[in-house]
Structure 1
Amino acid sequence: MGLKQISQLHTISTKPVRRILGLMSGTSLDGLDLALCEVTGSGTETQCKLLKFKTYAYDSEFKNKVRAVFAKETINLEYLTLLNPWIGQYHAKLINQTLSQWQVDRSDIDLIASHGQTIFHCPHHQHAHVDFSDGTLQLGDGDQVATHTQIITVSDFRQKHIAKGGEGAPLAQYGDYLLYQSAEVHRILLNLGGIANFTVLPRGGQVDDVQCSDIGPGNTLMDAFCQRYFDVPFDEDGQLAAKGEVCVSLLDLLKTIPFFHLDTPKTTGPEVFNLTMLEDIRAKCPERPSSYDVLATLNELTVWCVLEHIQRLKLDGPVQLIVSGGGAHNTLLISKVRSGLLGDYEVSELSQDGVCVDSKEAALFAVLANECVAGGGSFSFGKISLPG
């Protein structure tokens, strides 16, 4: 790293406002979210305003390339090695296209925050290797992104979490605390992505009081089932599930999955919640539910795991439940969560400073990149790649 580049990083770190492009690509493989954020301050003084947002739907080439290695125990190592830089170049191409469409010059962007594409997530409780602890792998080399966009890139956020004794996920704890902590009311930030997770922010609490955990499948099982049996990418508004009836015997079998009964915090992924697992459990079911009934049951499973984990919290007083992620658009799911909550809960979709249901995760990684460069301490995650 040359003196000029160190000076550039220092200048960015001392700016009152930084423009950061946050990227998020989830395990659903639906596309790349790009959130251009204006981030002010750092630490507990952080403020994040969304300026522009776009989702690029992945083409079949990208999906097929990733699915060749995604959540598989056995893969071609040469292929994996080549895929890492290829994804970085692919994401850089989408960034350049988006900035051109937005008519934003790359010189106006201080940092890119690149989450990368998760290929495998293996916390200790999911694997049988006694010599190893927790691990996770995201592809999309940050040097490729930085070089092909000519913008300083912060990436590979999850490795620091593992190095500090975590499982590599979820990382929302830190961004949620910085942006949404309240002195007056308990808040639960519920994200219904492929995997459902929540961040529990006790009123007036400090970062060590925050609980952040995966809680089970969000959309991943429903989406995969829709793609195989209905030939649609997802169940829009829960309309297909609404045509079926919950199969209680299948639901009861699904509830026995060990992950649900682990204490929080915990993490999981499609390595556990996938169609192979579902078909194995269906084979044990004494009934033969229709495809509509199975989908209704999967919808109910997500509702159950959300309510089950929230009610375990035993929060006193009013609670704001703020929902984000693709599942927030599933009206059947959300209506069931609303009606199933016991206590004083106010349920709403995320909407603050332009950050909304779909853009939250990309914006949170912009906040983490901001901390990496301008903050530090407990909230510092990510590795810095400089343009070559």
Structure 2
Amino acid sequence: MNKNIQNLAGISVKPVRRVIGLMSGTSFDGLDIALCEFRGSGLGTDIKVNNFVTRDYNSDFKEDLKSVFAKKFADLEKITLLNAVIGSYYAELILECLEEWGISPSEVDLIASHGQTIFHAPKHQHRMRGYPNATLQIGDADHIAMKTGIITLSDFRQKHIAAGGEGAPLAVYGDYLIFSSATENRIMLNIGGIANFTFLPSAHSTGFFSSDVGPGNTLMDQFVQLKYPGRYYDENAAIASAGTVNTDLLKALLDHPFYKAEFPKTTGPELFSLDYLNDAMRRSTQHNLSNEDIMATLAMFSAKGIIQAIVESVKGRGEFEIYMSGGGMYNPLMVSYIEQYFGRKLKFTSDLGINPDAKEAVLFALLANEAVAGGSTPFGDRPGVPTVSMGKISFPQ
């Protein structure tokens, strides 16, 4: 037997597997690195997060990512180079963390790398006849595996598309396995660049699903980066809190077929871009708004998309709780809009034992654990939730 296959087979039957989960989102904040211990698989999975950190990206690297992100026309040479650069850079950051944590790479069984999304193109968005759903994440995993000496799983979204999905959101798998409750209906709300949620009805019902709901931080971040050079986001919603929501602009922002499409659905900054904002301002004839008013309206726009999706998904399903994760949970204005509508304080995944900052990295670590040691849990093979094993394997030798 090939040594790599033999090693992988041994990992699959270990009572405890150590897996590093990596996540880098569309906000380009940095790389989330979560070192997890897994016992079991499927609904019997026991997870312990031993270490977690976010390694901030420097401004030059962020600009490199922005130069090829969500653009129909980008520098192909730059994309090719960044594919290798990102993989190698991730490996360096992992090795730095392991040294700080006093852990040898040989003590880690697997790495699960989401990669860096540079374009997401579901059919309903690109509308090109004869072309399928598609998505592209770069950051080659062979570079990670070779440099760290650790088996690496990556490119999880491609299998989801091959099985009939749109490549996102993948959180439904981990949310169902980790956060399902026998007694409580739960909304697992992740507010990243794009906001998505998983609806988990009580008693492990087959009615669970996950969907994108529209922009979370992405439009606000893009506007801040345009109008306030050197700033990447509206810290503590300071700009937006100084403004007033413009109802005409808000109505125009919400007037798009995406918001009328059935669940599940996906989207990205390819749609919700500054061009989208400018078009809404043109249609609403709101050309002379202050930056503060635009930001306040964008915060409400993100909140409204989230609220509408949750209301529709829980209609007739009884009481529920909302558990937040993602960078948007630090936007107090957007969160307050959501809380005011539902008349309650939102909870965090930390209330269920998982650091909300680490959640996405942990979920990809779980997908790697399932690919190697699980795969027997049925997910119903419904639209958006095919029962498949995800992740391509890169060996270190």
Normalised TM-score (structure 1)? 0.95
Give the partner amino acid of 2:79. Answer: L
> Does residue 223 of the first structure (1) align with residue 224 of the second (2)?
no
Q: Please name the residue that 1:375 is paired with.
A: 374
Q: Please name the residue that 2:321 is paired with.
A: 320
Shift of 1:278: 1.1
Mapping 1:106-117, distance limit 5 Å: 106-117=105-116
Partners of 2:321 and 2:159 lie apart in 1 by 30
Mapping 1:77-226, distance limit 5 Å: 77-206=76-205, 208-226=206-224
Q: Secondary structure at the match of 1:209?
A: coil
Q: Please name the residue that 2:298 is paired with.
A: 298
Give the partner amino acid of 1:237. Answer: N
Shift of 1:42: 0.3
Partners of 1:72 and 1:96 lie apart in 2 by 32
CA deviations on 1:300-330 (whole Å, 9 max, x unpaired) are 0011111111111214332111011011111
Mapping 1:17-96, distance limit 5 Å: 17-96=16-95
Shift of 1:354: 5.1
Q: Please name the residue that 2:382 is paired with.
A: none
Q: Please name the residue that 2:333 is paired with.
A: 332
Give the partner amino acid of 1:387. Answer: P
CA deviations on 1:221-266 (whole Å, 9 max, x unpaired) are 1111122223422222222211100011110110112211211100
Q: Please name the residue that 1:309 is paired with.
A: 309
Shift of 1:209: 2.2
Extract unaligned runs of 5+ from structure 1.
Answer: none
C-alpha contact (below 8 Å) 2:159/2:388 kept by paired residues: no
Q: Which shows bigger deviation, 291-300 or 121-130?
A: 121-130
Partners of 1:89 and 1:380 lie apart in 2 by 26
> Does residue 387 of the first structure (1) align with residue 391 of the second (2)?
no
Shift of 1:346: 6.7
Q: Please name the residue that 2:379 is paired with.
A: none
Give the partner amino acid of 1:36. Answer: L
CA deviations on 1:331-363 (whole Å, 9 max, x unpaired) are 222122111027xx7730111575212110000
Partners of 2:92 and 2:354 lie apart in 1 by 24
Partners of 2:44 and 2:260 lie apart in 1 by 37
Q: Which shows bigger deviation, 298-307 or 93-102?
A: 93-102
Q: Please name the residue that 1:259 is paired with.
A: 258
Compute the RMSD of aligned alpha carbons.
1.6
Regions of 4+ moved over 4 Å: none
Partners of 1:353 and 1:317 lie apart in 2 by 21
CA deviations on 1:101-156 (whole Å, 9 max, x unpaired) are 22211111110000000010000001132111100000011111100110000100
Partners of 2:116 and 2:316 lie apart in 1 by 35
| Structure 1 residues 262 and 52: CA distance shift in structure 2, 3 A | same
**Paired-residue identity, %:** 49
C-alpha contact (below 8 Å) 1:156/1:383 kept by paired residues: yes
CA deviations on 1:141-186 (whole Å, 9 max, x unpaired) are 1111100110000100001100110000000010000000111010
Q: Secondary structure at the match of 1:21?
A: strand
Q: Which shows bigger deviation, 193-202 or 3-12?
A: 3-12
Give the partner amino acid of 2:302. Answer: T
Partners of 1:229 and 1:7 lie apart in 2 by 55
| Structure 1 residues 209 and 346: CA distance shift in structure 2, 3 A | farther
Give the partner amino acid of 2:83. Answer: N
Give the partner amino acid of 1:96. Answer: L
Partners of 1:66 and 1:202 lie apart in 2 by 38
C-alpha contact (below 8 Å) 1:170/1:212 kept by paired residues: yes
> Does residue 277 of the first structure (1) align with residue 286 of the second (2)?
no
Partners of 2:232 and 2:64 lie apart in 1 by 18
Give the partner amino acid of 2:186. Answer: R
C-alpha contact (below 8 Å) 1:19/1:36 kept by paired residues: yes
Q: Secondary structure at the match of 2:346?
A: strand
Q: Secondary structure at the match of 1:239?
A: helix
Q: Secondary structure at the match of 1:116?
A: strand
| Structure 1 residues 240 and 332: CA distance shift in structure 2, 3 A | same
C-alpha contact (below 8 Å) 1:123/1:135 kept by paired residues: yes
Extract unaligned runs of 5+ from structure 2.
Answer: 377-386
Shift of 1:35: 0.6
Q: Secondary structure at the match of 2:244?
A: coil
Normalised TM-score (structure 2)? 0.93
| Structure 1 residues 353 and 7: CA distance shift in structure 2, 3 A | farther
Give the partner amino acid of 1:295. Answer: M
C-alpha contact (below 8 Å) 2:179/2:352 kept by paired residues: no
Shift of 1:379: 5.1
Partners of 2:244 and 2:213 lie apart in 1 by 24
Partners of 2:236 and 2:246 lie apart in 1 by 20
| Structure 1 residues 315 and 175: CA distance shift in structure 2, 3 A | farther
Q: Secondary structure at the match of 1:296?
A: helix
C-alpha contact (below 8 Å) 1:371/1:379 kept by paired residues: no
